[in-house]
Amino acid sequence: MDAGASNIISRIVTPGTLITSDNAYMRGHGTFAEHESIYSSVAGAVERVNKLISVRPLKQRYGGEIGDIVVGRITEVSSKRWRVDVNARQDGVLLLSSIILPGGIQRRKSESDELQMRSFFAEGDLVYAEVQSYFADGALSLHTRSVQYGKLRNGTMVAVFPQLVPRSRTHLHRLPCGVDVVLGVNGYIWISKHVSAAKVEANAEHMYSDQNELISDEERETIARVANCIRLLNRMYVKITETSINFAYESSLPHAVKDLLKTDIAQELADSVKAQLLQQA
């Protein structure tokens, strides 16, 4: 790499910053060309792949990919479909044909199902779903055709930057502290009391119920602690994975839950998580 190229990458730029006036480069995402120079159109880090220059934004909306595990919130019930807020540029769509109807996977949908769509998902409900495909206009089509997907209960949601949640093999984690987290790739994270898979399968008829289980005070404290750990990791711009949450949780134990978001404690915890992640790598 020549000296000019090293000037280009590993720089933080704001919209309108001149990245290079060398016309040997091509412009990629997050840039625009004017007067044969390349400028940044977003605030973020400059990246270069051979001759292609792009800027990775610090803050962005979720751009979906097929197979992603997401957490979404129903915003609208319309004919044969739900609109779902997935933190993307436009709402995703969950078709009535892409959910499991109560009474078994094999059941076919009937007209009465169309009339009682709100008894499955109503406005405001949170769903755990997978991206099935794209529509022509770029909207995401979701599906919940698996027993582990569906309505979320027994917990609380935290919204984080989507770019901090990496894609991985599993997104439903049971943490050692006894709490379940669903790391939606779209930046919506669900933290809830652990309910065993066997119990979920046994209660298949209640899969669309709004009824929470009994949650003890200790479980509430633990959920709040995990939620605050995720909030502070997000604020300090640390990748949010099962490992980083566990590190943050372990380091946070000496502090009271409500103190975790105090600036100095949050900084200290984030630094310790970063150090532990580096050590592991």
Partner 1 sequence: MASLLVSPAEQDYITRGVEKGIRCDGRSNLDRRQVTLRTDMISQANGSARCRTGDLGLGTDVLVGIKAEVNTWQPGEPEDQGSIVCSVECSPSAAQEFEGRGAEDLNVELTQLLDRILNGPQSGIDLQKLCIIPKQAYWGSIVDTLMWATRAALLSTKLPRVVVETISDENGDTQAEFDVVDDPEDVAPLEGADNLPITVTFNQIGKRYVLDASEQEEAITQAKITVAVSPKREICAVQKGGILQTAQRVSQEELKRFGRAVRGGQGRGGTGRCRGKHRLDIPQPVLIS
- Catalog residues that contact partner 1 under the rule CB under 8 A: 73-75, 85, 122-126, 151-157, 210-212, 215, 217, 220-221, 224-225, 227-228, 231-232, 235, 256-258, 260-263, 266
Instruction: State which residue, 19 or 152, has the beta carbon closest to partner 1.
Output: 152
Q: In the complex, what is the shortest distance from the CB of residue 168 to partner 1, in angstroms, rounded to a whole number?
A: 25
The CA distance from 127 to 231, in Å, is 21
Instruction: State which residue, 201 or 221, has the beta carbon closest to partner 1.
Output: 221
Q: In the complex, what is the shortest distance from the CB of residue 3 to partner 1, in angstroms, rounded to a whole number?
A: 38
Exposure letters 124-133 (e unless 16+ CB within 10 A, then b): ebbbbbbbbe
Q: In the complex, what is the shortest distance from the CB of residue 160 to partner 1, in angstroms, rounded to a whole number?
A: 12
Q: In the complex, what is the shortest distance from the CB of residue 55 to partner 1, in angstroms, rounded to a whole number?
A: 22
Instruction: State which residue, 151 or 171, has the beta carbon closest to partner 1.
Output: 151
- The H or E element spanning position 180 is strand 179-183
Q: In the complex, what is the shortest distance from the CB of residue 33 to partner 1, in angstroms, rounded to a whole number?
A: 29
Q: In the complex, what is the shortest distance from the CB of residue 232 to partner 1, in angstroms, rounded to a whole number?
A: 7
3-state secondary structure of 153: coil
CA distances in angstroms from 26 to 22, 31, 171, listed in the order given: 10, 10, 36
Instruction: State which residue, 5 or 224, has the beta carbon closest to partner 1.
Output: 224
Instruction: State which residue, 5 or 159, has the beta carbon closest to partner 1.
Output: 159
Instruction: State which residue, 75 or 276, has the beta carbon closest to partner 1.
Output: 75
3-state secondary structure of 278: helix
Q: Who's near 58: CB < 8 A, 6+ residues apart?
A: 43, 44, 45
| Amino acid identity, position 8 | I
For 27-68, the DSSP string reads E-TTEEEETTEEEESSSEEEEEETTEEEEEESS--B---TT-
